[in-house]
């Protein structure tokens, strides 16, 4: 397939675009809070692929990789807090359906 | 086709295929385990991009940390045997149309843009370079990141503990 090889920038961008679209689809359609978080992780991964790919094919400096590491760090923080919120919601509403949790308190 | 190109195709296939399963699987356990394939595939892509340190970090934090957290949360919140469909989805058709149009636009943009041609690709270790940058140019964000992690740690503990009523 032309334009899709390990030495082409566009192949990485296409993989990133597909991951982003699938992550967005997951976030939009899932009714399960944990699945929504999984979609967010997919989106963050696609952004990371783009960062590292542009860094590799662009200036060759490590700046893009630094940003990717920051994104991974923030994703870890987001997963910890997000899943803690999901567990708290489950204890209160006995469901993690995002449509069930409509109020701010019991 | 040489071997590295074949490996690249395989990794791309694993990454995208697992992501499709995350998005479409009816069982949330399958979704969670498919996420493993996506994360590992992305780590493989990082290796192809000459980012060895980021690939290691991806494996350690995503596969070793975030994925375990997600599987923990799934196991703690679901009576998996009770319900037929553990991973409900709504509005699939409009979502699918929207995403298809969006993806088409993105891919067309990527294909039409005349990206600069690649120079000779050199693979060299990046860890020392990243360490230097973290402690010189990116020192302030680095310190802020540790503060954010501390806040997230305390926040997670406060949120998930059981409230004791008297």
Would you state the pLDDT for residue B118?
67
Say yes or no for a CB contact (<8 Å) between B69 and A90.
Answer: no
Would you state the pLDDT for residue B150?
95
A3 touches chain B (CB under 8 A): yes
What CATH number does domain B1-112 carry, 1.20.1250.20, 3.40.50.80, 1.20.120.1200, 1.10.8.80? 1.20.120.1200
The neighbouring-strand residues paired with B89 are A30
Say yes or no for a CB contact (<8 Å) between A12 and B118.
Answer: no
Cβ atoms of A8 and B2 within 8 Å: the answer is no
What's the CATH number for A9-93?
1.10.287.3510
Write out chain B residues lying below 8 Å of A76, CB-based. 61, 65-66, 149, 152
Handedness of CA B139, B144, B147, B149 (dihedral sign): negative
Say yes or no for a CB contact (<8 Å) between B103 and A37.
Answer: no
CA A6 to chain centre: 23
Among B12, B35, B50, whose Cβ lies nearest the Cβ of A38?
B35
Instruction: Please tell me the distance in Å from B24's CA to the nearest CA on chain A.
Output: 8
Instruction: Examine the pLDDT at A85 and tell me if it is beyond 80.
Output: yes
Mean pLDDT, residues B88-113: 87
Cβ atoms of A14 and B107 within 8 Å: the answer is yes
Confidence (pTM):
0.89
**Segment B3-43, tens digit of pLDDT:** 888 999 999 999 999 999 998 888 888 889 999 999 999 99
List Cβ neighbours of A4 (8 Å cut-off, separation of 6 or more).
Answer: A10, A11, A14
Mean pLDDT, residues B66-90: 74
Q: Residue B156 in 3-state DSSP?
A: helix
Tell me the average pLDDT of chain B: 86
DSSP for B50-112, written as a single string: T-HHHHHHIIIIIIIIIHHHHHHHHHHH--TTT-S-SS-B--HHHHHHHHHHHHHHHHHHHHH
Would you state the pLDDT for residue B119?
65
**Chain B residues 11-70 with a CB less than 8 Å from chain A:** 12, 15-16, 19-20, 22-23, 28, 31-32, 35, 38-39, 42, 45-46, 48-51, 53-54, 57-58, 61-62, 65-66, 69-70
Say yes or no for a CB contact (<8 Å) between B42 and A68.
Answer: no
Residue B87's pLDDT band (cuts 50, 70, 90) = low
Instruction: Examine the pLDDT at A91 and tell me if it is beyond 90.
Output: no
CA distance to A77, A87, B141, per residue, from B161 (Å): 17, 9, 30
List Cβ neighbours of A19 (8 Å cut-off, separation of 6 or more).
Answer: A42, A43, A45, A46, A49, B15, B16, B19, B38, B42
Cβ atoms of B31 and B25 within 8 Å: the answer is yes
The neighbouring-strand residues paired with A30 are B89
Say yes or no for a CB contact (<8 Å) between A53 and B28.
Answer: no
Residue B84's pLDDT band (cuts 50, 70, 90) = low
A41 touches chain B (CB under 8 A): yes
CA distance to A35, A45, A67, B23, B86, per residue, from A18 (Å): 18, 11, 21, 11, 25
Distance CA(B135)–CA(A13), nearest Å, equals 30
Q: What percent of chain B has pLDDT over 90?
A: 46
Mean pLDDT, residues B139-166: 87
């Amino acid at each position: 397939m032309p334009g899709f090889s390990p030495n082409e920038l566009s192949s990485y961008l296409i993989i990133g675009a597909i991951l982003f679209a699938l992550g967005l689809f997951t976030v939009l359609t899932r009714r399960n809070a944990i699945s929504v978080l999984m979609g967010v992780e997919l989106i963050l991964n696609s952004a990371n692929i783009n960062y590292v790919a542009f860094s590799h094919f662009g200036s060759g400096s490590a700046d893009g990789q630094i940003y990717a590491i920051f994104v991974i760090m923030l994703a870890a923080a987001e997963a910890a807090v997000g899943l803690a919120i999901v567990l708290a919601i489950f204890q209160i509403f006995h469901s993690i359906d995002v449509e069930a949790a409509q109020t701010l308190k019991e | 086709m040489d071997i590295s190109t074949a490996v690249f195709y395989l990794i791309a296939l694993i990454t995208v295929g697992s992501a499709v399963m995350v998005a479409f699987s009816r069982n949330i356990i399958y979704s969670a385990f498919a996420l493993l394939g996506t994360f590992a595939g992305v780590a493989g892509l990082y290796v192809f991009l000459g980012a060895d340190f980021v690939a290691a970090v991806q494996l350690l934090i995503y596969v070793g940390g975030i994925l375990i957290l997600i599987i923990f949360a799934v196991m703690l919140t679901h009576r998996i045997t009770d319900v037929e469909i553990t991973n409900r989805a709504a509005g699939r058709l409009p979502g699918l149309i929207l995403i298809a149009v969006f993806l088409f636009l993105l891919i067309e943009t990527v294909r039409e843009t005349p990206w600069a041609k690649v120079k000779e690709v050199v693979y060299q270790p990046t860890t020392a370079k990243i360490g230097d940058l973290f402690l010189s140019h990116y020192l302030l964000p680095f310190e802020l990141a540790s503060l954010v992690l501390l806040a997230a740690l305390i926040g997670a503990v406060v949120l998930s503990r059981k409230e004791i009523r008297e």
